[in-house]
A and B are shown apart, each in its own frame.
Chain A
Amino acid sequence: MSGEFDIELPLLLEAIHLKYSYDFRRYAVSSLKRRLEQALQQFGCRSLSALQERVLREPEVMRGLLAHLTVPVSEMFRDPSFYRALREEVVPYLRTYPSLKVWIPGCATGEEVYSVAIVLREEGLLDRTLIYATDINPEALRKAEEGIYAIDRIPDFSKAYCEAGGRASLSDYYTAGYNATVFDRTLRAGVLFSDHSLATDSVFAEVQLITCRNVLIYFDRTLQDRAVALFRDSLCRKGFLGLGAKETLTFSTHAAAFAEFAREDRIYQRR
């Protein structure tokens, strides 16, 4: 990559922050660069400076860029053993609460939300649970709320659901059309889809469970620390934090606030 790119990158991120209040300045740089290179191609811009010119003057370009910068593709029941641990090891604790609040930050297009909701439904907890599903991308939130997924993704979802200890058939939870499946709207009756940024917003509720899988990998250490501090301050004592399979609190400033609960599945418990 050229030296100019490295000069233009912080300028672009600063411009986006000043104009739109989206803060990508502390995103992990290697992934961010790849995504921006793709954006340059899509918008037909020769340089980040050219892209910056358009971003500042054309809000619809910012909307398109947001899609490049935020939405990773997720899968339902990604890493089935995580959801098995959630069901078998965490749910017994969750049962002891008369009502539950769950936060799923960076929920993107909602695959993780429906996965968690299905586990809670099968364990008889969903009716007394409020799930906050948050993201910075309004388009992703809209898709998450629709709960419509391409039908060719369903076989992988079903396989993972079974491996995760699903008690029924995944098809009990969706209606299939020609190209797409719509997930049962009662799964999201207790889900609040909402705009929230781990980079700029603060604590908004006390929750018993946070699952935030493969979101922190896109942040640098400083921003990870900010996000983990929000998790620490949002979780009740003995509340649970579930991370992605390759994410760890080991390198976090706030590691001491958490105990390892299910080590292999990256589930932590607030001290």
Chain B
Amino acid sequence: MERVRGKTTSAAKTETLQAVLVGGSAGAIDVVSHLLAALPADFATPLVVLIHLPRHRPSALLGALRGHCRLSLREPLDKEPLLPATVYLAPPDYHLLIDPGPSFALSVDEPVNFSQPSIDVLFQSAADVLGPRCAGLLLSGASPDGAQGLRAIQEAGGAVAIQDPDDAIQGAMPKAALALCPSARVLSTKAISEWVLQLPTWQTSKGAR
């Protein structure tokens, strides 16, 4: 028994996304670099990419991906607000979370699924804070990390997609996600950027709040 407060959210379906979240591990870097290359310069919704990397060494990923991306690309700092037309890469040796704002938060809590950063941690916090206003995409990987998080995004009403396990270099991560989110879109490697581009994202930076 509860009273309805404010308007109901029938407009939720047309609501633009505040963030698109991408997770992956072994075999995901090439997929991400193709995706970034396909994003137009006016793709304004922040894109957050988390790829598992070896611990205790600086990430070379930023340099490797920079040439492939028309958008601003960087590792977020603690409390940095999510800005339009920016691709954020999760830094090594921290968990990356979304706090209300939305802004980034970091933690050095224990690894989850032997991973720090963990995709589950990022996706679950995004689902909690952004609800249907985020979308999740899980790519190739040899770890079950990300499956719980993807389900959290789906349960919160966000769009979710998984790289086809048979088309991924490592199928374990997408398979684990499919087991928990059987109704998620399954995408061939080629169809991934198309799926991201059809999401209700901000089309110009003017679309940002």
Contact = CB atoms under 8 A, between A and B. Distances in A.
Interface of A: 1, 28-31, 33-35, 72-74, 78, 156, 159-160, 214, 216-218, 220-221, 224, 244-248, 250-251
A73 B76 CA distance: 21
Contacts of B109: 31, 34-35, 72-73
13 contacts: A28-B105, A29-B99, A30-B99, A30-B125, A31-B97, A31-B109, A34-B97, A34-B121, A34-B125, A72-B107, A74-B108, A214-B106, A245-B91
Interface in B75-117: 75-80, 91, 93-95, 97-100, 105-110
A156 B128 contact: no
Contacts of A244: 78
Contacts, number: 68
B72 to A, nearest CB: 16
B128 A248 contact: no
Nearest to A74: B108
B69 interface: no
B129 interface: yes
A28 B108 contact: no
Contact of A251 (B79, B93, B99): B79
B78 A217 contact: yes
A43 to B, nearest CB: 18
Contacts of B77: 246-248, 250
A30 B152 CA distance: 14
B105 A30 contact: yes
A248 B121 contact: no
A249 B128 CA distance: 27
B200 to A, nearest CB: 24
A244 B79 CA distance: 13
Contact of A217 (B75, B98, B105, B128): B105
A251 B78 CA distance: 9
Closest 8 CB pairs of A and B: A30-B97, A30-B125, A31-B107, A217-B106, A217-B78, A72-B108, A28-B105, A248-B77
Nearest to B105: A28
B63 to A, nearest CB: 15
Contacts of A29: 99-100
B128 A1 contact: yes
B148 to A, nearest CB: 12
Interface residues of B, number: 26
Contacts of B106: 214, 217, 246
Contacts of B7: none
A224 B103 CA distance: 15
B206 interface: no
Contacts of A160: 56
Given A72-B107, A246-B106, 8 more contacts: A30-B97, A34-B124, A78-B93, A214-B108, A217-B94, A217-B107, A217-B108, A218-B107
A27 to B, nearest CB: 10
A261 B98 CA distance: 29
B128 A33 contact: yes
A73 B78 contact: no
B78 A156 contact: no
Given A30-B125, A217-B105, A251 B80 contact: yes
Interface in B115-132: 121, 124-125, 128-129
A220 B78 CA distance: 10
Given A246-B106, A248-B78, A28 B56 contact: no
Nearest to A31: B107
Given A160-B56, A217-B78, A28 B121 contact: no
A1 B153 CA distance: 11
